Amino acid sequence: MQNKINIGLIGAGTVGSGAYKVLKENFAEIYRKTGKEIIVFALAEKDTKRAKEVADDKTLIFEDAFDLVKDKNIHIVVELIGGTGISKDLVEEAIKNNKHVVTANKALIAMHGEELVNLATKHNVNLCYEAAVAGGIPIVKAIREGLAANKIEWIAGILNGTTNYILTEMKENNLSFDVALKQAQELGFAEADPTFDIEGIDAAHKITILASIAFGIPINFKATHIEGISNLDQKDIIYAEELGYKIKLLGITKFNNDSVELRVHPTLIPEKRLVANVDGPMNAVLVQGDMVGPTLYYGAGAGAEPTASAVVADIIDLARNLELTGTNQIPILGFIKDEIQTKKILSIEDITSEFYLRLSMKNESGVLAKITQIFAEHSISIDAMVQKEIQEDDKVVDIILVTSIMIERDVNKIINEIEVLPESQNKAVKLRIEQLNR
């Protein structure tokens, strides 16, 4: 029985320094839970000055992380540099050297998870990635283990702290998009390349991983439909609020027997839902199981210590179960390999949803009649319709519509027909609505 466990930590950035701190400060607590002395044996960081600030002098510092992954003294390699370049090579090298790997790298798992899981299985080691999704919220374990008895029906989550922070600041404190983003960067929530946050890519990495472990499907990042918040107009946040909705960037995945929906986009959700009131950089994930019903997980989705909390929990799992290999361990993606089934990922045009539409029309009589006529011709009912008060001299008016549930392809046809009306002044804004109650 291995009683001393040596960690090789790669990266002394926000999460790396957080993991170092958690392992050191909670050493005794972790011992009580594992019966193992877990220490950071080595830290790899190109910026050795930074490494010396983070680590004490008992920790070996490696400038080259490839030396760390080969070191015979190390039992668990923890990759915390992010990205899909060198981090992939390092994780592969660690696995080939028969080390268990813990990573917080959502891009790596979403893009290369399949091959890394296969490699880990071949070498009889584990690959743990709790921190890759929703930072400190233990959502991977909740779905893979806590809800294992259920068929998961759908998941909807606020999975990106940066965009949730931006949306909250824009709405509550009237900050501009750029100022709110800069603050999120200063607070250490944003990705190295913040377009990953604001264009929905980071949330897409995370929902792709969750869809795989929830439904037992291959990790399919390329098929995920992704829209971010950079085109979101403050006007729509205000109009949505007047209709009783909040706008959140949601990652959504739904299972429909022979197909799966997998999408990230700004979404209107009723303001009375708990998840609508998750503000600032916080994350929340709503998971619907067929037996348990809805379950909601809330917590910090980014930042040094919350993310490190998930990283260290994975280290603790490994420490407790170091001897377990192959079929004795929890399947890395939650389902046994032969039972992972390919499902069609629906194109966005094939999903059904209610829609919020903002139409920009000339303020002339007969316009509303023409719009309702187009909807009637498609047999689609309108659940709400509001014409915004016009400013003096303003000849253009915003018309807000909420549709009943319909196929996105049909709403696109309706929009096309409205946009060619002579009264139409601008492209229509289309946002999806999720009631999150079924």
Q: Which residues are catalytic?
A: 206
Whole-number Å distance between alpha carbons of 252 and 271: 18
Q: Does 157 bind ligand HSE (CB under 6 A)?
A: no
Are 329 and 145 a contacting pair, CB within 8 Å? no
* Binding test (CB under 6 A) with ligand HSE, winner from 8, 11, 82, 135: 135
Helix (H) or strand (E) holding 387: strand 382-387
Residue ranges in 273-292 that form contacts with ligand HSE under rule CB under 6 A: none
Give SS3 for 335: coil
Query: What binding mask, one character per residue, do residues 195-224 give for ligand HSE by CB under 6 A, x or -?
Result: --x----x----------------------
Instruction: Give the CA distances from residue 56 to residues 39, 59, 285, in Å, rounded to whole numbers and listed in that order.
Output: 11, 6, 37
Residue 161 engages ligand HSE in binding (rule: CB under 6 A): yes
* Shortest Å distance, C-beta 18 to ligand HSE: 12
Region from 86-94, 156-164, 248-256, 343-351 binding ligand HSE, contact rule CB under 6 A: 156-164
- Cβ neighbours, 10 Å, residue 27: 12
Residue 162 engages ligand HSE in binding (rule: CB under 6 A): yes
CB of 167 to ligand HSE, least distance (A): 12
The SS3 assignment for 407 reads strand
Q: How many residues bind ligand HSE (CB under 6 A)?
A: 11
Structure tokens at 355: 């829609």
Judged by CB, which is closer to ligand HSE: 14, or 212?
A: 14
Site string for ligand HSE, 181-200 (x = CB under 6 A): --------xxx-----x---
Q: Is 301 in the site for ligand HSE (CB under 6 A)?
A: yes
Q: The tokens of 370 are what? A: 């023409």
Spatial contact of 337 and 216, defined as CB atoms under 8 Å apart: no
Q: Quick check: 302 binds ligand HSE (CB under 6 A)?
A: yes
Nearer to ligand HSE, 299 or 301 (CB): 301
* 3-class SS of residue 369: helix
Of 423, 306, 278, 411, residue with least CA distance to 353: 411
Per CB under 6 A, 14 contacts ligand HSE: no
Question: Tokens 């739904």 map to which residue?
Answer: 254
Interface residues with ligand HSE (CB under 6 A) are 135, 160-162, 189-191, 197, 202, 301-302
